Amino acid sequence: MIRTVATKPFDDQKPGTSGLRKKVPVFQQPHYVENFVQSIFDALDGFKGKTLVLGGDGRFYNREVIQTVLAIAAANGFGKVMVGQGGILSTPAASNVIRKYKAFGGIILSASHNPGGPHEDFGIKYNAENGGPAPEKITDAIFAKSKAIKEFRIADGVEVDIDKLGTVKVEGMSVEVIDPVKDYAELMESLFDFDALRALFKSGFRMAFDSMHAVTGPYGKEILENRLGAPKGTCRNYHPLPDFGGHHPDPNLVHAKKLYDDVMSAAGPDFGAASDGDGDRNMIVGKGMFVTPSDSLAVIAANAKLAPGYAKGISGVARSMPTSAAADRVAEKLGIGCYETPTGWKFFGNLLDAGKVTLCGEESFGTGSSHVREKDGLWAVLFWLAIVAARGESVKDIVTKHWAAYGRNYYSRYDYEEVESEKASALMKDLGAKLGSLPGTKVRGLTVEKADDFSYHDPVDGSVSEHQGIRVMFAGGSRVVFRLSGTGTSGATLRVYMERYEADPAKHGIDTQEALADLIAAADDIAGIHSHTGRPKPSVIT
Ligand code: G16
């Protein structure tokens, strides 16, 4: 039976950088999930009888919310929902299913790299028919609906067995439980030369892939071990767990430290990679070389033709504004377009749809291409394997040669997590107020050339997104960027990004923190980080 239930709005359902992310107890409030899902549907037109894709990263509360979304989708007139078995679909896999089966859109349940569990994070995100995160005009409409909602429609007593493949009916709507890995694995086979990768593993090349007890476990097992013949044991922590084994499923030098240490040890594997909660982020480590996400995008762009799916070349490259300009130099050399967007994968969608770019990347461990409309962790790992296989060189050699050819962009990000929101806002406000007076001033021996608050003019639809981060540019091309994260769930996270370009190969071997020491000090002088937040040092350095 379908019921209409009276409800009252919540005032905090504004989607952030990537969907609505809150602590689990917030989502567990009566009607909280129902209101938000109904608000998504209220913001959309024309989905009656159409298909919705549904899945998540398997975190705590995933299964319950899957049933609620099914019940609300049925009551609102969807014709079909394709749901990943066990409620599992990695974010890039969900994007692929939406595109491949021409669905109307999809709902992805994930809080990405944030921890999971009864007191940790949960998230709901809507992706549009191009398979990408809903653009701002839709997320704004969802928020507006959530503030005015009076009722939701729901089918009673929905309890679909999501572990069993096949199709069942719910109030006239079909629910097809699909294999979450199959379509994605096929897509990867269409882009990369699996024979060459099999030969690489056969030759004795050893890698470790850490799924951090999150969604890429089954994908990594199937693709790396089953299809590519990597030895058993290549995949680590491959059982998705509702609490990610108590860890933080964020592939970086802090949370994937064990993997990093193993690869760096003499007896360890040649290559290490990790992915996050929902499978869209990646970390790449070679022996003696951690590859920054900004460099990763640049190296993939420069070597793209080595993978069959990109053999004809790439049309352009896009990166988020805080990401280093390493990829810009490759684009310049290739004579292709290069775009700088605000943080958030949703900003790449228009550029990809319009064919202006093939590759996109972000400093936040995200790399992807036009094969889907999300960043894609395992895809990036396979691309690196493809480059290593084709060039017959180590990751370290590939990166060092890249720097020698294009110069090195020294890069680091400092995160100040869980700062009181008022203090973080005051810092940004004060900084914004002095932008006009900064040019021409000297800080720690560096001369400020330009300072602004980044705004983006989408070249495809003409939309404008303002206040996307404060940039302080110095003479010589170095810069510091300040912005507040849009994905945290408690307090505010201040992110400070430092970058310095060095053309001289003789100066490419300096420790990153040392190479950026003056910029790091200048950032504090300019923004008063310590005095505003009380934090003498960041919580995470990547
Ligand atoms: C999301 C977005 C990314 C963004 C990242 C960090 O990633 O999709 O585009 O770069 O958040 O955003 P912020 O700096 O605002 O925290 P994910 O992997 O969390 O979905």
Pocket test for ligand 1, best of 59, 320, 321, 345 (most atoms within 8 A of CB): 345
Atom of ligand 1 nearest to the CA of 19: 20
Q: How would you classify the pairing of strands 51-56 and 105-109?
A: parallel
**Known catalytic membership, residue 437:** no
Of 356, 408, 146, 116, which Cα lies nearest the Cα of 242?
A: 116
The confidence score (pLDDT) of residue 486 equals 85
The protein residue with its alpha carbon nearest to ligand 1, atom 19, reads: 112
Report pTM: 0.95
d(CA 505, CA 527): 32
Per-residue DSSP letters for 419-450? E-HHHHHHHHHHHHHTGGG-TT-EETTEEEEE
Task: Kindly give the distance from the C-alpha atom of residue 321 to the centroid of ligand 1, in angstroms, as a whole number.
Answer: 13
Q: What is the pLDDT of residues 153-182, one digit of tens each?
A: 999 999 999 999 999 999 999 999 999 999
Atom of ligand 1 nearest to the CA of 133: 8
Q: Which of 112, 211, 294, 296 is catalytic?
A: 112
Residue type, position 455, single letter: S
Q: What is the pLDDT of residues 28-45, one digit of tens each?
A: 999 999 999 999 999 999
The protein residue with its alpha carbon nearest to ligand 1, atom 4, reads: 344
> Taking CB atoms and a 6 Å cutoff, what residues make up the pocket around ligand 1?
17-18, 112-113, 280-281, 320, 343-345, 362, 364, 366, 485-487, 495
Average pLDDT over residues 9-16: 96
Atom of ligand 1 nearest to the CA of 277: 18
The confidence score (pLDDT) of residue 415 equals 95
Average pLDDT over residues 328-341: 97
Q: What is the pLDDT of residues 86-135, one digit of tens each?
A: 999 999 999 999 999 999 999 999 999 999 999 999 999 999 999 999 99
Pocket test for ligand 1, best of 14, 17, 375, 490 (most atoms within 8 A of CB): 17
Q: What is the pLDDT of residues 255-296, one digit of tens each?
A: 999 999 999 999 999 999 999 999 999 999 999 999 999 999
Task: Kindly give the distance from the C-alpha atom of residue 241 to the centroid of ligand 1, in angstroms, as a whole number.
Answer: 22
Average pLDDT over residues 414-433: 95
Task: Kindly give the distance from the C-alpha atom of residue 127 to the centroid of ligand 1, in angstroms, as a whole number.
Answer: 15
The confidence score (pLDDT) of residue 183 equals 98
Atom of ligand 1 nearest to the CA of 363: 10
The confidence score (pLDDT) of residue 526 equals 95
**Percentage of the chain exceeding pLDDT 70:** 100
The protein residue with its alpha carbon nearest to ligand 1, atom 2, reads: 344
d(CA 467, CA 453): 6
CB-based burial label for 542 (10 Å; 0-12, 13-18, 19+): buried
Q: Is pLDDT at 15 greater than 80 in this prediction?
A: yes
Task: Kindly give the distance from the C-alpha atom of residue 13 to the centroid of ligand 1, in angstroms, as a whole number.
Answer: 18
Q: Is pLDDT at 454 greater than 90 in this prediction?
A: yes
Task: Kindly give the distance from the C-alpha atom of residue 502 to the centroid of ligand 1, in angstroms, as a whole number.
Answer: 28
Task: Kindly give the distance from the C-alpha atom of residue 274 to the centroid of ligand 1, in angstroms, as a whole number.
Answer: 17
Within a 13 Å sphere around the CA of 390, how many CA atoms are in the beta-carbon half?
18
Strand pairing partners for 210? 236, 274
Q: What is the pLDDT of residues 342-378, one digit of tens each?
A: 999 989 999 999 999 999 999 999 999 999 999 999 9
Q: What is the pLDDT of residues 474-515, one digit of tens each?
A: 998 899 999 999 887 788 999 999 999 999 999 999 999 999
The confidence score (pLDDT) of residue 487 equals 82
274: left (phi over 0), alpha (psi -120 to 50) or beta: beta
The confidence score (pLDDT) of residue 17 equals 82
Q: To the nearest whole number, what is the mean pLDDT of the chain?
A: 96
Pocket test for ligand 1, best of 14, 18, 367, 414 (most atoms within 8 A of CB): 18
Task: Kindly give the distance from the C-alpha atom of residue 285 to the centroid of ligand 1, in angstroms, as a whole number.
Answer: 21
The confidence score (pLDDT) of residue 490 equals 80
Q: Is pLDDT at 337 greater than 90 in this prediction?
A: yes
The confidence score (pLDDT) of residue 295 equals 98
Atom of ligand 1 nearest to the CA of 483: 14
Average pLDDT over residues 212-238: 97
Atom of ligand 1 nearest to the CA of 362: 10
d(CA 51, CA 100): 12
